[in-house]
Amino acid sequence: MASYARFSQFIRSPTLTLLYAGDMLRHKEPRYLGHNPLGAVMVVLLLLMVGGIALTGWMQTTDAYWGVEWVEETHEALAELLLVAIALHVVGVIHVSLRHHENLVLAMITGRKRAPAGGDIL
């Protein structure tokens, strides 16, 4: 079984991520069997935002932070940013699906993608 969901496999350096973003803008990005570098950034951002929403939501239930304005504002801002990030993620999935002619949603459900070709990155 492949380990494409492990952080050690899909977290890329900032340099590689920026190079991938440039390649994507030029429509020359390589196909990844796991998460591409921008997808990895999105996974980390989504996890951090959900964690922040959970933390600030919990903080609002405590005596120390009940009614504290910055906690409420942070909670609301993270929730709104999460909606934007989700929309960007969906756009990214659609873009990559069209660019590489594969159904990424189906691949997420089944865990299967077509075999790698010459320019693909495992």
Residue 114 carries which DSSP code? P
Which amino acid is residue 72, in one-letter code?
Answer: E
Q: Provide the residue count of the chain.
A: 122
- Residues 47-68: tens digit of each pLDDT: 999 999 999 999 999 999 999 9
- Residues 3-18: tens digit of each pLDDT: 666 767 778 899 999 9
Write the DSSP assignment of 32-61 as a string of letters: BSS--HHHHHHHHHHHHHHHHHHHHHHHTT
Lowest mean pLDDT: which of 46-60, 67-81, 95-109?
95-109
